[in-house]
Homo-oligomer: A and B are copies of this chain.
Amino acid sequence: MRKTRKTSAKAAAPEAVDLLVRGGTVLSLDAENSIYGDGAVALRGDRIVAVGPRRELERRCRARRVLDCAGRLILPGLVNAHTHAPMTLFRGVSDDQELLTWLQKYMFPLEARFVSPEFVRWGARLACWEMIASGTTTFADGYFFEEEVAKAADEAGLRAVPGQGIFDVPTPDARNAAEGLARAERFLADWQGHPRVTPALCPHSCYTVAPETFGKIRQLAARYGALVMTHLAESQGELAMVRERYGTTPVRHLAACGALDANLTVAHCVWLDDEEIGLLAARGVGVVHCAESNMKLASGVAPVPRMLEAGVALGLGTDGPASNNDLDMFGEMATVAKLHKVHTLDPTALPAETVLRLATRGGAAALHMESEIGSLEPGKKADLIVVSAEGPNALPAYNPASQLVYATRAEAVETVVVDGRILMERRWLRTLDTEAIRRHAARFARRITAALPD
């Protein structure tokens, strides 16, 4: 494969490319937010070679294959920067409960009883189906038996940052932190260097993982150059626990542990003061806003406009399907755009363009992958989606960002390309055995239903 390079429009001989996605409105989401009304994107191997007006790219490129997208929107694949993919199998199992009831009566006993490599495998496969079908091309995950999530993402063709979950307490895959760390190290060793699957560590939180364990996790991460992901400042309950135990706030506690750095990605960040926001920005910590989960679990509303103003590297995540209840980044965008308007009583807060950036470039930045993904630019990974504008809710089309954020539903995603490979074409899924996934999901659901408390 030839090395990616930016070619000039004046190049005499046309350049060979593998795939030319052409004819729709291209939203590059590059630094200038370039939009091409009748645009095209040329891909070679796993990389984007060129982005621009269709006619120019047709002149410059000789494509092995062409994907005609007239009347459609072409944009970077969405980045779901925080989820727990295998929890698809717990979707809707115990909604609308008090948090402690939800955790102690339902989730913890169900996880202890059902979470196995097989559960994680089928849950993650179901999640990959749902994510591809809704336009996500990269997801960051945290759960148990995370090698099964990595395998599921690999098979599905998705880009992923699976994070092996680490707790101090016993979990379905480790009796204690030492076992968890050993398993995490095997996971990093096994998956390092994979072109799409970037193994990471996921200590659950600073109230379930002691500072000493956090220290060992940081050392392990440093040895492998791996990302650390955790939950942070999600609820008032967490604040109270951390204050009681450490006499400070979750962000300051993690800073004191030496864990706040550009190798860290934290989810939620609902309860922050301005000094903490400044600290997250200054240390280059990636933050993932999970609006729908924070709403459904009544955690609170994260100070997103203030984080953006402070320059925090901010992306969006659905959180796990037990607390959202889906992996739909279009739904998440629509919610994010509206939630912060009503929360600040400012209808200009988080315009559609900003929200679309959060769901693409922002997620890439939050995962410290902004040089590789998050926009359609030459040299970046060939991850893109094609969105139909056929449905009645897409008519008329005045502003593509408004259309995508406020009126598009996930079913409008027609085609999904990751690493230059077409994973879904005109809604036809090319990498998944959806009938097998359906069968196994039903099988787990029967067992889980039988085990539910009254």
Contacts and interface: CB of A to CB of B under 8 A. Distances in A.
Interface residues of A, number: 73
Nearest to A390: B438
A96 interface: yes
Given A97-B347, A347-B99, A326 B395 contact: no
A402 B102 CA distance: 15
Contact of A406 (B95, B299, B395): B95
Given A292-B338, A346-B298, A92 B398 contact: yes
Contacts of A391: 130, 133
Interface string A316-345: 000001001111100100110111011011
A352 interface: yes
A114 to B, nearest CB: 12
B449 A398 contact: yes
Interface in A343-388: 344-352
A108 B221 CA distance: 58
A398 B447 CA distance: 11
B398 A93 contact: yes
Contact of A298 (B92, B299, B341, B449): B341
B129 A352 contact: no
Contact of A296 (B92, B294, B337, B395): B337
A449 B396 CA distance: 10
Nearest to A406: B325
Interface stretch (A3-11, A175-183, A255-263, A407-415): A407-415
A404 to B, nearest CB: 10
- A interface, over-half SS: helix
A344 B298 contact: yes
Interface in A106-163: 126, 129-130, 133-134
Q: How many copies does the complex hold?
A: 2
B342 A398 contact: no
A297 interface: yes
Contact of A396 (B130, B300, B399, B445): B445
Interface in A402-436: 402-403, 406-407, 409-411, 434
B130 A295 contact: no
B393 A98 contact: no
B98 A296 contact: no
B396 A89 contact: yes
A392 interface: yes
A29 to B, nearest CB: 17
A220 interface: no
Nearest to A92: B402
Given A341-B295, A341-B297, A126 B407 contact: no
Contacts of A406: 92, 95, 296, 324-326
Interface in A288-306: 292, 294-301
A88 interface: yes
A342 B301 contact: yes
Q: 5 shortest A-B CB distances, which residue pairs?
A: A396-B445, A295-B338, A96-B351, A92-B402, A130-B392
22 contacts: A88-B395, A91-B393, A91-B396, A91-B398, A93-B398, A93-B399, A95-B399, A96-B351, A96-B352, A126-B392, A134-B393, A294-B342, A295-B339, A295-B341, A295-B342, A296-B341, A297-B347, A298-B346, A298-B347, A300-B345, A326-B407, A395-B442
